[in-house]
Chains A and B, each alone.
Chain A
């Protein structure tokens, strides 16, 4: 039964123009699709192939190619399989259409991606702030956001040369590797 369905799905997908289908395993299919064809594909998967559950929309920032990759993961309870539809949109201005009318839960994921990556989804019911309600910096998950520079500008760190530590060190104890020597960023600085 399941095998029949997946064969049927493969045939269905192969009929479509301009998409690339890769079967990763018996239960996972990766589909790469142009951004203008993605809503049609999702419509088809939902309406005719029982993929009724949108598990997540994830976003990847390909900063060197100046693109965002959006991945729509849809799940079918009947076939027990997951289709990941990948599409790439331009990083600038970073606007895409909402799939809220196909999958209602998309509103939640789109709002999240808007907040974390700054991608705007046209037609999404609510693009207001969600988790980072008190955040006024740039979208923090973008690759060009330097988290460490932001941290250094906004916070102070504990002093690791306090008086009580010298006492402990005199007795032979103490901090083995100080955190500021251990940090990745610092290691690069020292190496170069």
Chain B
């Protein structure tokens, strides 16, 4: 499972292989961590479309998702999985991206329903975004209109298996190719589009800053980015006060 590395002589640097730590014990530890991670998943079900109706049966007594170690969670900060359950309109997509960026890493995205794959039966609609993976990295798609709870559970099990094997790391892709994702977002939302999350700094923090993190689109973002400020509180509703 793990291989012992020749002890380097003085002055030599330790050889580092990608994805594996040089300490033999760390590998064992990593595997344990991944196993533990795959057995304790908290999912945020952002109920975007009609496919969301299959989730209550998947969660409750008949199919009982909790026996797999998966639990619903109400806030993005505490969730590992973002379930996008159905068509995402352009307006909703903005909120989905905001939610996704708020989640702590590692994070996984599951696109449920044909609508997230390719627009589904809304392929011709001006309001529905096709192809969710243009805007954020998707780990698993569960196709169907709508997929049965069995399919949802099969998809989740596949994700668990991927996590255990260390294959579910598409979240890293968001940092490494941020320019690509931002480009698609800007195409839809206009060039002034921005989120409160500083993805580029986060990429540096996680050590995932790649050659495609920055690019023409992030340059555009920098031009338009406004510094974050607290929201102003207003209680004045002119229509109401005028009528009184």
Q: Is the CB of B91 within 8 A of A133?
A: yes
Interface residues of B, count at CB 8 A: 19
A137 vs B239: C-alpha distance when bound (angstroms): 28
Most buried by A among B90, B119, B126: B126
Chain-B contact segment, one of A64-72, A73-81, A97-105, A148-156: A148-156
- Interface status of B7 (Cβ within 8 A of chain A): no
Number of A-B contacts defined by CB within 8 Å: 48
User: Which residues of chain A are within 8 angstroms of B129 by Cβ–Cβ distance?
Assistant: 155
Q: Is the CB of A147 within 8 A of B126?
A: yes
User: Which residues of chain B are within 8 angstroms of A140 by Cβ–Cβ distance?
Assistant: 126-127
Q: Is the CB of B130 within 8 A of A158?
A: yes
- Interface status of B202 (Cβ within 8 A of chain A): no
Closest residue of A by beta carbon distance from B118: A158
A135 vs B131: C-alpha distance when bound (angstroms): 20
- Interface status of B52 (Cβ within 8 A of chain A): no
Distance in Å from the Cβ of A8 to the closest Cβ of chain B?
Answer: 37
- Interface status of B30 (Cβ within 8 A of chain A): no
Distance in Å from the Cβ of B166 to the closest Cβ of chain A?
Answer: 21
Question: Hey, what's the 0/1 contact readout for A131-170 against B, CB within 8 Å counting as 1?
Answer: 0111101001000010110110011111000000000000
Closest residue of B by beta carbon distance from A125: B239
22 contacts between A and B (CB under 8 A): A126-B239, A134-B90, A134-B94, A135-B127, A137-B126, A140-B126, A145-B126, A147-B126, A148-B124, A151-B119, A151-B123, A151-B130, A154-B188, A155-B129, A155-B188, A156-B130, A156-B134, A157-B118, A157-B123, A158-B130, A183-B123, A183-B124
